[in-house]
Amino acid sequence: MRRRWLAALAALMFLPAAGAAAQTAHEALKVLLAAHEEVRGELHGIGTDLEAAAGRLAETGLEGDGARRILLGIREGRPWAVDRATVSPGGVLLAVEPEFYRKYEGMSIAGQPHAARVRETGQPVMSQVFRSVEGLDAAAVAHPVRSGAGGFAGAVSFLFRPSEMLATVIEPVAKGTAVEVWVMQPDGRVLYHTQRGMIGRNLVASPAPAHDPRLPSLAGLVARERIGSAVYESTDDLTGRPAEKQAHWLTAGLHGAEWRIVAAAASPAGASGRIEAILREEADALIRTQVQMAVSMLQAVYEKYQLGQISLDRAKAFSADLLRGLRYGDGGDGCFWADTTDGVNVVLPGRDDAEGKNRFDDVIEDQYYVREIIARGRQPGGGYTDYHFPKGDGRTPLRARAYSLLFRPFGWVVGTAYHVDDLERRAAARMKGDGK
C-alpha cells in the first residue's frame, strides 16, 4: 500500500495546475516528498552511527577515554543533539558526553521505556518523546552492545530534540511556500509545526482550535493511517473566512517508532476527485491481489491431484469449499465467486441457489455482466469489469467493479469486486478529514 500511495502522490504533482490554489497544492506535495526524504535521511544517520558505535564499544568497553571518543563521534556537529551515553546492563549511565552532561553519570534510566525495551529485547529501539533525566522533552535511540560471547553487555544511547532536528531539515524545503507542515507521533503529539506554538500539543486529544474545527478528526485519520490524503475545513489566514485545506502525509521512522509528516495547503477544485482516484487505484490493486492469491491456492490443490494424492473431483470440491470460506478486508466482507467459462456458477457466497445454474445470459441494467466478467478473466493476466450488482441481500443494483482471472486447469473464472458507493463514501469522509 505504501508504494501505491507514494506513486499516486507523486503522479498528482504532474497534473495540470490551474490557479493559485492548484499551484499551492502541487507545492505541498513537493514539500512533503522533500521533507520526508530529509527526515528519513537523518533518522537513518542516527541508526547507522549508533550501530557503528555499538560495534566499536564492544571492543573498547563502555567506560574510559576510548568510549568517550566514540560517543562524541555520534551525529557529531548536530546542534539538536543533547547527549550520547553508554548504559550498563542494569540501566545505569556509565559515560555521558559532551562534558556538560557528565554530571548525570551514575544515574539510573532503567525505568525509561526505551531503556527497558533494549534490555529486554536485545534489539535497537527509538522512543517517543519523553521527559529525560536531563530535564528536557526529548527522544532517544538506543542500540545494544554485545559481549564477546554475543550476550547483552549494555547499550549506547543518543538523546536528541526532535522539534529542533525537524526544524533544521524541514524549514529549508518549506521556506517561501504557503505550505503548512507538521510532524506528529501516532498518539497525536506534535513534534514539529510551522506554527511553533503547536509543538507539544496533542492534536487528537486536544479541543479543536477555532480556526481549524476539523483538525482533531484529521489528526485521528493521520494517526490511524501511515500514508494518505484528506481535505478538511479550516479558516483562511488572511480573510478569516471558511476555507478548505488539503493534507497529504507520509511516515518516517526508525526501529519501529513512527512519525507522521503532514503537508497541508489550500484545497484546489477537484481535490475530492483526485482523492477518489487514489482510493480507486488502491481498491483495484487490492481486488487483483486477492484474486491472484485465491487462484494460487487453487493451484496448490490442483498440484495434489497431479501428484495422485486426490481425485480431480475431490480437488474441485475442496477448491469450491475453499473459495466459499475465503474472506478479506477490514470487516471480512470481501469474498470470491467462480463460474465455468461457459457460465455455470460454481461458487457465489450468499446466493447458494445460484450454484450449478448457468448465469451466462444474466442481465442487469441492460448488461450481460457475467459474460463480460468471464471474457475479461480469460484475457492474459485477467481484467476488470464495471457493472451493477445488489449489495448483500438487497435488490437494488449498485455500481460495482470486479477483477476476474481464469484458473485454466479447472476452467473456472475466479472473481471478486467492490461497490463504488463504498469508495465514494470513503472519499467524502476524507474530504471532511474524518474517514478511514
Q: Average the pLDDT over 172-180 and give the result.
A: 89
Is the distance from CB of 198 to CB of 211 less than 8 angstroms? no
Bridge partner residues of 182 (DSSP): 193, 262
Whether pTM exceeds 0.75: no
Q: Rounded to whole angstroms, how far apart are CA atoms 133 and 119?
A: 18
Q: Rounded to whole angstroms, how far apart are CA atoms 215 and 201?
A: 12
pLDDT digits (tens, 9 = 90+) for 219-278: 899 999 998 888 777 765 544 556 677 888 999 999 999 999 999 887 655 455 566 677
Between 230 and 57, the more confident residue is: 57
For residue 143, count other CB atoms closer than 10 A to its CB.
25
Asked whether residue 343 carries a pLDDT value surpassing 60, the answer given is: yes
Is the distance from CB of 174 to CB of 31 less than 8 angstroms? yes
Which residues contact residue 356 at a Cβ distance below 8 angstroms, ignoring those fewer than 6 apart?
A: 344, 345
Is the distance from CB of 401 to CB of 408 less than 8 angstroms? no
Three-state secondary-structure class, residue 266 = strand
Give, in order, the Cα–Cα distances in Å from 224 to each of 22, 184, 231, 306: 27, 12, 16, 46
- pLDDT reported for residue 102: 96
Q: Rounded to whole angstroms, how far apart are CA atoms 365 and 276?
A: 24
Q: Rounded to whole angstroms, how far apart are CA atoms 301 and 314?
A: 10
Three-state secondary-structure class, residue 111 = coil
Tell me which residue has cell 487490492.
286
Asked whether residue 341 carries a pLDDT value surpassing 90, the answer given is: yes
Percent of the chain with pLDDT over 90: 64
| Cis, peptide link before residue 98, omega less than 30° from 0 | yes
Q: Rounded to whole angstroms, how far apart are CA atoms 326 and 292?
A: 13
Three-state secondary-structure class, residue 184 = strand
pLDDT digits (tens, 9 = 90+) for 99-136: 999 999 999 999 998 999 999 999 999 999 999 888 88
The strands making up 337-340's β-sheet, listed across from edge to edge, are 345-347, 337-340, 412-419, 398-407, 383-389
**Hey, which bits of 236-315 come out as E strands?**
242-254, 257-266
Q: Rounded to whole angstroms, how far apart are CA atoms 183 and 191?
A: 5
Helix, strand counts (H, E) of the chain: 10, 16
Asked whether residue 423 carries a pLDDT value surpassing 70, the answer given is: yes
Q: Tell me the average pLDDT of the chain.
A: 87
- pLDDT reported for residue 13: 45
- Residue 104: is it exposed, middle or buried by C-beta count within 10 angstroms (0-12/13-18/19+)? middle
- pLDDT reported for residue 274: 60
As given in the structure block, the three cell numbers for residue 208 are 479543536
pLDDT digits (tens, 9 = 90+) for 308-329: 999 999 999 999 999 999 999 8
Q: Rounded to whole angstroms, how far apart are CA atoms 21 and 11?
A: 18
Strands 130-131 and 137-146: antiparallel
Q: Rounded to whole angstroms, how far apart are CA atoms 344 and 350?
A: 17
Q: Average the pLDDT over 38-50 and give the result.
A: 96
Overall size of the chain counted in residues: 436
Is the distance from CB of 257 to CB of 127 less than 8 angstroms? yes
Dihedral sign of CA atoms 428, 431, 433, 436 in order: positive
- pLDDT reported for residue 84: 97
**Which helix (H) or strand (E) is 350 found in, with range?**
none
Q: Rounded to whole angstroms, how far apart are CA atoms 65 and 102?
A: 13
Give 211's pLDDT tier (boundaries 50, 70, 90). Answer: low
For residue 226, count other CB atoms closer than 10 A to its CB.
17
Core vs surface per residue 30-41: b (16+ CB within 10 A) or e: bbbbbbbebbbe
Q: What domains are defined for the chain?
A: 2-33+164-267 (3.30.450.20), 42-160 (3.30.450.20), 276-424 (3.30.450.20)
Give, in order, the Cα–Cα distances in Å from 94 to each of 55, 60, 108: 17, 13, 9
As given in the structure block, the three cell numbers for residue 394 are 438487497
